[in-house]
Amino acid sequence: MQQFDLEAQGLRALNSTLHEQAGSSNQTQWEVVNPRGSHAIAVGLDAPIEVNVKGSTGYYCAGMNQQATVHVHGSAGPGVAENMMSGTVIVEGDASQYAGATGHGGTLVIKGNASSRCGISMKGIDIIVHGNIGHMSAFMAQSGNLVVCGDAGDALGDSLYEARLFVRGSVKSLGADCIEKEIRPEHLELLAELLERGGCDAKPEEFKRYGSARKLYNFNIDNAY
Amino acid sequence: MCGIVGLFLKDQSLAPQLGAMLTDMLITMTDRGPDSAGIAIYGGSEAGRAKLTVQSHTPDADFETLAADLSEALQDQVSLQQIDTHAVLDLASEKLADARRHLAAHHDSVRVMSEGESLEIYKEVGLPKDVAARFDLGSMSGSHGIGHTRMATESAVTTMGAHPFNTGLDQCLVHNGSLSNHNSLRRKLRREGVHIQTENDTEVGAAYLTWKMREGASLGEALESSLDDLDGFFTFVVGTKDGFGVVRDPIACKPAVMAETDQYVAFGSEYRALVNLPGIEDARVWEPEPATVYFWSHNDASTSQDKAA
């Protein structure tokens, strides 16, 4: 295992070293110590490596991730796994606002709570939150799955497109054009797989599904150019 | 952007290190706000005495005779301690209003930064580390304090546009965000007779709280009504004689992290600001909820008041 002391060696050295790891690298295990809330840790990775960050991170940890597994052993600041393409990001603590924003693929697991705007404009990422999520989560979410084992805040799924939202607890309020939908067998199957991937012991039957009512401007063919 | 830090000590044995801890937090927030910096510190009070913190761009000329002049005008003992461009005037509490009137009438170039029994405010243009060094903030002691690093968006980079703003006796405000209805609100408040000196949006926020409290609201009530009357983005931290409070607008874009241990309650715009605090590894760390007024006080139980968004 390779160890990297962020305080001693600096952020640019960390990220350029991690960027040098190609698919054939045999240095697949990395540990980052002394993160101390720094920004942009392990951003832009594109190799099947595992990076364990031993502490809490600041803005944009694991942004634009491809292939890699980034495991934050603490809490994450705003924009964790923003625009992730593939791979896995796991946060042991809480995540601040807009976790997984605009993510195209991969899996984001948050073992604590996520703050406001979790999964905003998500485009294919799967986000599994063990705790609660804040207001305006999944705003304009386009595709992918958001699973919340706790409660959701105000305006869940406002202006939603085709993303699927599963919430086990209460939803403070639904955003414009977001409605509760029936859970069919294929959703239970999907949810079981997502919960297993996220390491949750919740049962699929305990969740409600929310999705787009498809009534807003974009869904009306008469509004097409 | 802008950065906010705050530290409220539960364990008064840390009081001699308050300035040092807050300064470290403040400097960490430099890249959120390199334009100006300021700190409000509650260093303790003496019964019947008040502190007037004043500032001048020509401090040596202005402060040399200021104490003697005020003592004569007020017919009472006034002492002065100069710290760089600032000076703390120590005077009898009941002479405070007269002293302010005298300063306004006879000392144009002397500006009042704060008034209170315990509060002192120091703020200047420049990098946080330089501002901290000018005032030797690291050597200050106290029970609690708040600090701010400014990245100016709504008005000029000046000393008077720096935070914290004094909102009333022993009360102050720092702000991360931007208020969008500050022009109309400034006109309204001026019609109500509230004195506003600059084109700065936060000063209007501070004046709004001052006005609400003058009309009989408590600080908590004033903060709650600010959620209705102020348009824009804000995370506010307010200092009071006994503690501090936090409120974020309902959208809550502007970041905020709190940490609590048996020894202190700390606020930072980012977790980075908190990493050198003692025992932070085991602290309870969380984000304050939007549209919720929080208070920590040395006298009363801590509270949080949810206000529907």
pLDDT given at position A184: 97
pLDDT given at position B200: 93
Confidence of residue B305 (pLDDT cuts 50, 70, 90): low
Give the amino acid at B275: V
CA–CA separation, B279 vs A133, rounded Å? Answer: 27
What integer best gives the mean pLDDT of chain B?
A: 94
Q: Which CATH number goes with the domain that contains B288?
A: 3.60.20.10
Residue B308 has pLDDT above 60, yes or no: no
Domain boundary among B69, B97, B117: B117
**In a shared domain, residues B108 and B174:** no
Residue A224 has pLDDT above 90, yes or no: no
- Told to judge if B2 belongs to the known catalytic residues of this protein, a careful annotator would answer yes
Q: Is the peptide bond before A35 cis (omega within 30 degrees of 0)?
A: no
Buried b (16+ CB within 10 A) or exposed e, B180-219: eebeebbeebeeeebebebbbbbbbbbbbbbbbbeeeeeb
Is A203 part of the contact surface with chain B (CB cutoff 8 Å)? no
| Domain range for B99 | 46-117
pLDDT given at position B198: 87
Over residues B53-75, the pLDDT tens digits come to 999 999 999 999 999 999 999 99
CB contact under 8 A, A77 and B271: yes
Mean pLDDT computed over A111-119: 98
pLDDT given at position B297: 86
Angle, CA B165 vertex, CA B164 and CA B168 arms, to 5°: 130
pLDDT given at position A24: 74
Mean pLDDT computed over B124-153: 97
Confidence of residue B309 (pLDDT cuts 50, 70, 90): very low
**In a shared domain, residues B23 and B155:** yes
- Among A134-148, A204-218, B33-47, B211-225, the minimum mean pLDDT is found in B211-225
Q: Which CATH number goes with the domain that contains B101?
A: 3.30.70.980
- Among A30-34, A216-220, B102-106, B281-285, the minimum mean pLDDT is found in A216-220
Domain boundary among B117, B149, B172: B117
**In a shared domain, residues B296 and B228:** yes
Beta-carbon neighbour count of residue A186 at 10 Å?
Answer: 8
Is A75 part of the contact surface with chain B (CB cutoff 8 Å)? yes
pLDDT given at position B44: 87
Mean pLDDT computed over B5-20: 97
**In a shared domain, residues B96 and B204:** no
Domain boundary among B60, B94, B117: B117
Eight-state DSSP code of residue A98: T
**In a shared domain, residues B101 and B35:** no
Residue B307 has pLDDT above 60, yes or no: no
**In a shared domain, residues B106 and B254:** no
| Domain range for A208 | 2-223
Question: Å from A76 to nearest chain B CA?
Answer: 9
Residue B92 has pLDDT above 90, yes or no: yes
CA–CA separation, B305 vs B222, rounded Å? Answer: 12
Least CB-CB distance to B271: which of A58, A97, A135?
A58
Q: Which CATH number goes with the domain that contains A70?
A: 2.160.20.60
Beta bridge partners of B292: B306
The pTM of the full predicted model, rounded to 2 decimals, is: 0.93
Confidence of residue B306 (pLDDT cuts 50, 70, 90): low
Over residues B180-218, the pLDDT tens digits come to 999 999 999 999 988 888 899 999 999 999 899 889 988
Number of domains in chain B: 2
**In a shared domain, residues B216 and B110:** no
Residue A218 has pLDDT above 90, yes or no: no
Mean pLDDT computed over B164-186: 94
> Distance of CA A162 to CAs A137, A142, B19, Å?
14, 5, 52
Residue B39 has pLDDT above 60, yes or no: yes
Residue A92 has pLDDT above 80, yes or no: yes
Over residues B119-130, the pLDDT tens digits come to 999 999 999 999
**B250: its two tokens:** 């309902």
Residue A191 has pLDDT above 90, yes or no: yes
**In a shared domain, residues B223 and B80:** no
Mean pLDDT computed over A20-30: 85
Candidate list B2, B5, B29, B52, residue with the active-site label: B2
Question: What ipTM was reported for this prediction?
Answer: 0.92
CB contact under 8 A, A37 and B272: yes
Number of domains in chain A: 1
* Residue of chain A minimizing CA distance to B272: A37
> Position of tokens 């009438």?
B105
* Residue of chain A minimizing CA distance to B268: A37
Is A37 part of the contact surface with chain B (CB cutoff 8 Å)? yes
Mean pLDDT computed over B37-64: 96
pLDDT given at position B255: 96
